[in-house]
Amino acid sequence: MNDKQVKEITSRDVDFGKWYTDVCMKADLVDYSSVKGSMIIRPYGYAIWENIQSVLDKMFKDTGHENIQMPMFIPESLLNVEKEHVEGFAPEVAWITHGGSEKLDERMCVRPTSEVLFCEHYAKIIKSYRDLPKLYNQWCTIVRWEKETRPFLRSREILWQEGHTMHATEEEAKEETLRMFKVYEDFQKNYLALPVIVGKKTNKEKFAGAEETYTLEAMMYNGVALQNGTSHYFGNHFAKAFNIQFLNKENKLETPYQTSWGVSTRMIGSIIMTHGDDRGLVLPPNIAPTKVIIIPIGNDEKVLEVSNSVNKQLKDKNITTKLDNRDKTPGFRFAEAEVKGYPIRIELGKRDLENNQVTLVRRDTLEKIIVNIEDVVEKTQELLQNIQNDMYQRALTRRDSMIYVANDYDELKEIATNKNGFIKVNWCGNVECENKIKEDLGIKSRCLIDDEEVDGPCVCCGDKAHTKIYFGKQY
Amino acid sequence: MNDKQVKEITSRDVDFGKWYTDVCMKADLVDYSSVKGSMIIRPYGYAIWENIQSVLDKMFKDTGHENIQMPMFIPESLLNVEKEHVEGFAPEVAWITHGGSEKLDERMCVRPTSEVLFCEHYAKIIKSYRDLPKLYNQWCTIVRWEKETRPFLRSREILWQEGHTMHATEEEAKEETLRMFKVYEDFQKNYLALPVIVGKKTNKEKFAGAEETYTLEAMMYNGVALQNGTSHYFGNHFAKAFNIQFLNKENKLETPYQTSWGVSTRMIGSIIMTHGDDRGLVLPPNIAPTKVIIIPIGNDEKVLEVSNSVNKQLKDKNITTKLDNRDKTPGFRFAEAEVKGYPIRIELGKRDLENNQVTLVRRDTLEKIIVNIEDVVEKTQELLQNIQNDMYQRALTRRDSMIYVANDYDELKEIATNKNGFIKVNWCGNVECENKIKEDLGIKSRCLIDDEEVDGPCVCCGDKAHTKIYFGKQY
């Protein structure tokens, strides 16, 4: 790849969809195969997922959760136990009908999500209040038979985690739903530098079988929403369907309350589409597999020696680095470092050495910062922190600049027709209005806004509004 | 669970199969569900797998490997590309025929292993000698439609890792095959305390499509073999079938050479069946999720205070611990600790405190060791190391006591009929003899012995022998 090839990335302002695919491919994140609708996650893309897993897994364990591994198959009769759930998922599952050359007595689907498997297990292992809460999580691959797919955003196979918990009381289960929702929000803010709008989904948009679904809605560079994770409160109707009961302290049978919550590799899509630019990927330092790339210029022995020393000093501070001294032009190596989105590039040539300095280049702003060689570790540490903060602030500012308010249907229509972004409106709460807006304007409800007062009639029917709500286009 | 319930574990000398299942269930390692042939790996079992993954993943990365994630499905036409391979696997794959309500144009199987997926990808990304070697690994679940299943040993779904590498030369690929084979051997010895017999498989027993398969053969307590991992050298016939070619330094097209290697949750079965006893699981300290369990006896405030202090001191030394001060009898808590196989149990009562001492109980020998309270951390660290070493030595001694030599067919028959274990024989190398021994005596070739000279004729046909080889029963 050379500087010219990098420029072959489509401009994100010209064709955002093409830009996205270009970045995914040129940064070596994914590849296609003959398995339609699935993707290969290449080492660089998978390293981002490994970092995500490692941080989240610790957050889950710190909040008392244990990992478990359920079967990947669900017999049809088991999927059918909870009515709303099966209606939501049956149309998009992959069915196994044969094992070797034999037809199965009962077909099984590959799990699209694992509520029913967890419920069946919980029915066996929950007997007493002493067995509660059960706080389980699973890292696995799920399958949903999507017709149109896109790397990370929508794929037939999705790498994700799914937490499934059971609690003695409604109150505890609701607390858990919000606790894990907050874990997601903190993670996305502090590691992925993603500002997310958080809130409850409407009844229409909630998870099949849930009583309440909380969603994290990220806004991409082009103003389109990406649902970045959800946390569900189930009440106890799954538990009832699966006959899960426990003896309380008074030795009476009760039915426990349930939650589930999940995030997936889709978050990698969010990182790309929130932070990336026309030169490629831009990774937040806190999640980047390689935080610093060191590029020596020329073959001078002293230059290589100092490059190696800087590399070692940074590694000693637990900063992940790469030293790129391949026999390629500096222009080629700079361009590749930009496509890959390493947060900081350190350039080091003979003339720099004569001046006792090196150049740090920020990937997010492309700003060049000249520092004394003896300060390089300290300045790099500072700069990584600054880049992380600035990336979040920049994303927040851009997002806020694309949040609109519509007071009546004409305004809503005008905004929805001409702009992407989130549109804040008053809403009566009726699904008829939600449906009409979706059908007429191609925008869907994102989430309810619970910290703002209603200040007008429903944007659609003009009747009394009960809540404020965001609408917007989505992936 | 109380002391009585623990005793409900079948004795391993009475019914080894039943003992194994009892331990898997009583130690909360696995559970069954309505998904026939699959298992639920419960938190305690999964924590062992997480430790295995964490150590091996570091060993793989330290030897230059990168993780990747391939699709889980394989279209039938892709599986069919390599003839021997498809013949080996097609009879035992699960077929997906429908996505939602639509019949697929081409059915796909859930990967039984991923050679063909890696080859297809390698054909796209390997162009030049500069692209080699490619050293990829994948952690995933595979599916093989087994008829009879047992927790960890044989399951329709298997959690494993599969390394797939490509090299410019035959020599490099062979080195890689042996390098990863050695990584496995070191890991199983140093972490799992498993002595394994290592060597090449016969042509009959090698992996479908491989030129050479190296195997790690562990011997269970009952003398039956468990294949604990394999490393394959493929030559370049897969590469030829998939048209993978690269330009060498002289700008000429060459075909690269390939390896693959894998280990799975089956190793957990090996740990159980090598080290376990009639009281339950016995875990080697280097892989145990909880190395030490602290059990305060009675409700004395000072006892609880010192227990907490010991707990904290051990945690500060990165020793994983649990403090079990549940309102249960000491007998109950001791029994449960034994079933779960925690390497060391620390008992601490009022009288111990008066004597300024605590009792350490080794799970492997049940020996009680009284130490002064101020020495508890140091003695625990020493003891963990001793337990690890002793468990390996004990397994080694038992295994060696069950290795037999048969000089002729009568001897072979006599041993195979009356004893389990590995039987060392001279062999002509012909598959007819290998087949006859298997059919007559129910024992299969385990691996070739390459460091011992032939010292007699073939044990079966009496012709000139070409090698020594182990036979034995297997799971």
Q: How confident is the model over B358-412, as pLDDT tens digits?
A: 999 999 999 999 999 999 999 999 999 999 999 999 999 999 999 999 999 999 9
Interhelix angle B301-316/B376-401, nearest 10 degrees: 70
What mean pLDDT do residues B253-257 have?
A: 98
Q: How far apart are CA B30 and CA A121, in angstroms?
A: 11
- N- to C-terminal Cα separation, chain A: 30
Token code pair at residue B179: 């390098």
At CA B96, angle to CA B94 and CA B99, rounded to 5? 160
Q: Please give the backbone phi and psi of residue B453, each rounded to the nearest 5 degrees, phi first.
A: -80, 145
Q: Which chain B residues are within 8 Å of A145, Cβ to Cβ?
A: 99-100
Q: pLDDT band at A90, cuts 50/70/90? A: confident
Which of A58, A73, A145, A290 has the most B C-beta neighbours within 10 Å, making it the best mutation to test the interface with B? Answer: A73
* Rg, Å, chain B Cα set: 25
pTM: 0.96
**Closest Cα in chain B, distance from residue A124 (Å):** 9
Q: pLDDT band at A4, cuts 50/70/90? A: low
Q: How confident is the model over B83-122, as pLDDT tens digits?
A: 888 888 888 999 999 999 999 999 999 999 999 999 999 9
Q: Which chain A residues are within 8 Å of B140, Cβ to Cβ?
A: 141
Q: Is A50 on the interface with B (CB under 8 A)?
A: yes
What mean pLDDT do residues A382-405 have?
A: 98
Per cent of chain B over pLDDT 70 is 99
- N- to C-terminal Cα separation, chain B: 30
Q: How confident is the model over B194-252, as pLDDT tens digits?
A: 999 999 999 999 998 899 999 999 999 999 999 999 999 999 989 999 999 999 999 99
Q: How confident is the model over B16-49, as pLDDT tens digits?
A: 999 999 999 999 999 999 999 999 999 999 999 9
Amino acid at B154: R
| Cβ atoms < 10 Å from Cβ of B436 | 14
What mean pLDDT do residues A282-302 have?
A: 96
A445 or A83, which is more confident? A445
pLDDT of residue B372: 97
Is it the case that residue B3 has pLDDT exceeding 90?
no
Which domains are seen in chain B, by residue range?
3-275 (3.30.930.10), 292-384 (3.40.50.800), 403-472 (3.30.110.30)
B188 or B3, which is more confident? B188
Q: How confident is the model over A302-317, as pLDDT tens digits?
A: 999 999 999 999 999 9
Q: What is the mean pLDDT of chain A?
A: 96
pLDDT of residue A3: 53
pLDDT of residue B299: 85
Q: Please give the backbone phi and psi of residue B459, each rounded to the nearest 5 degrees, phi first.
A: -65, -20
What mean pLDDT do residues A2-20 have?
A: 83
Q: Is A318 on the interface with B (CB under 8 A)?
A: no
pLDDT of residue A83: 83
Q: How confident is the model over A21-52, as pLDDT tens digits?
A: 999 999 999 999 999 999 999 999 999 999 99
Please check whether residue A434 is in contact with residue A448, taking contact to mean a CB–CB distance below 8 angstroms: no
Q: Is A41 on the interface with B (CB under 8 A)?
A: yes
What mean pLDDT do residues B268-273 have?
A: 98
Cα distances (Å, whole numbers) of residue A420 to A223, A329, A396, A415, A441: 5, 41, 16, 8, 12
Q: How far apart are CA B422 and CA B197, in angstroms?
A: 10
Are B97 and A92 an interchain contact pair (Cβ–Cβ within 8 Å)? no
Is it the case that residue A181 has pLDDT exceeding 90?
yes
- CB-defined contacts A:B, below 8 A: 151
Q: pLDDT band at A67, cuts 50/70/90? A: very high
Is it the case that residue A2 has pLDDT exceeding 80?
no
Is residue A133 reached through a cis peptide bond, with omega within 30 degrees of 0 on the bond before it?
yes
Is it the case that residue B127 has pLDDT exceeding 60?
yes
**Closest Cα in chain B, distance from residue A71 (Å):** 6
Please check whether residue B135 is in contact with residue B65, taking contact to mean a CB–CB distance below 8 angstroms: yes
Please check whether residue A90 is in contact with residue A116, taking contact to mean a CB–CB distance below 8 angstroms: no
For residue B341, the 8-state DSSP code is: T
- Nearest alpha carbon to residue A143 among A178, A177, A194, A96: A96
Are A73 and B38 an interchain contact pair (Cβ–Cβ within 8 Å)? yes
Are A31 and B125 an interchain contact pair (Cβ–Cβ within 8 Å)? yes
pLDDT of residue B5: 57
- Nearest alpha carbon to residue B258 among B164, B136, B129, B131: B164
Is it the case that residue A8 has pLDDT exceeding 90?
no
Which of A29, A95, A124 has the most B C-beta neighbours within 10 Å, making it the best mutation to test the interface with B? Answer: A95
What is the β-pairing status of strands A403-405 and A444-449? unpaired
* Nearest C-alpha in B relative to A119: B33
Interhelix angle A266-275/A43-62, nearest 10 degrees: 110
pLDDT of residue A85: 82
